[in-house]
Amino acid sequence: MSQEKLNFIVIDDSKLDCFIAEKIIKNSGRSEVITTFQQAPDAITYIKSVSANGLMTIIFVDIQMPIMNGFEFVETFESLPQELRSNYSIYMLSSSINENDIARVKGYSSVKQFLNKPLTNASISMVLEQF
């Protein structure tokens, strides 16, 4: 298992869930930079402007959010230029057990996987094994 450092972006309208995610990611010991956003449009702006530090970035995005939901975020992300997108892996998070949502996640090529909330030490290490 590689122990390469990674960047993380967490997008969740719940401040609390952002905090939880941040803590758990920190605990994994694999994080270089963790950035959290409560509004998805801010994350898009950030992705467009941030200068790459050469590391892979993992995005955890919640599905149900006001203003721009998780699906809208992914659609906006997929419209960005390819060279901008290539360093990102997206994981979608949800508390809903809605099958339509789960099925819809599979339709986006840039989304690696659907994860149930809450993020836990176990679920995050499962994700990190792939990097």
Partner 1 sequence: MSKKEKIKVLYIDDEPNNLVSFKASFRFDYNVYVANNTDEAIAHLRENPDISVVLSDQKMPDKTGVEFFEEIRKEFPNPVRVLITGYADIESVINAINRGHVYRYIKKPWAEDDVKSAIDQSHKFYITSSMLAIKNEELQKAYNELDKFAYSATHDMRGPILSVLGIIDLAKNTGDIAEVKEMLDMMENAILKLDNYIQNLHDYYSIRRGEVEITEINFEDVVKDLSDIYEVTSKMNNVKFDKSVNQGEPFRSDDVSIKIILNNLLSNAFKYQKKDNSDKRVDLNVTVNKGVAVLTVKDNGIGIPENSVSQIFNMFYRATTEEVGSGFGLYNVKDALGKLGGNIEVTSSGSEGTTFTVTIPNK
Our finding on whether 17 is near partner 1 (CB under 8 A) is: yes
Q: How far is Cα 34 from Cα 56, in angstroms, rounded to an integer?
A: 12
Our finding on whether 117 is near partner 1 (CB under 8 A) is: yes
Our finding on whether 19 is near partner 1 (CB under 8 A) is: yes
Our finding on whether 77 is near partner 1 (CB under 8 A) is: no
Q: How far is Cα 71 from Cα 76, in angstroms, rounded to an integer?
A: 9
Contact with partner 1 (CB under 8 A): which of 51, 82, 83, 97? Answer: 97
The residue among 83 and 99 lying less far from partner 1, judged by its C-beta, is 99
Helix intervals (H) in the chain: 15-28, 40-49, 70-78, 82-85, 99-106, 121-128
- Please name the residues in contact with 90: beta carbons below 8 A apart, sequence gap of 6 or more: 59, 61, 74, 77, 108, 110, 111, 112
Our finding on whether 29 is near partner 1 (CB under 8 A) is: no
Our finding on whether 64 is near partner 1 (CB under 8 A) is: yes
The residue among 6 and 68 lying less far from partner 1, judged by its C-beta, is 68
* Rounded least distance, CB 29 to partner 1, Å: 12
Radius of gyration of the chain (CA): 14
Six-digit token string for 83: 């060279």
* Rounded least distance, CB 104 to partner 1, Å: 13
SS3 state of residue 75: helix
Residues at the contact surface with partner 1, assessed by CB under 8 A: 13-14, 16-17, 19-20, 23-24, 27, 38-39, 64-67, 94-98, 117-121
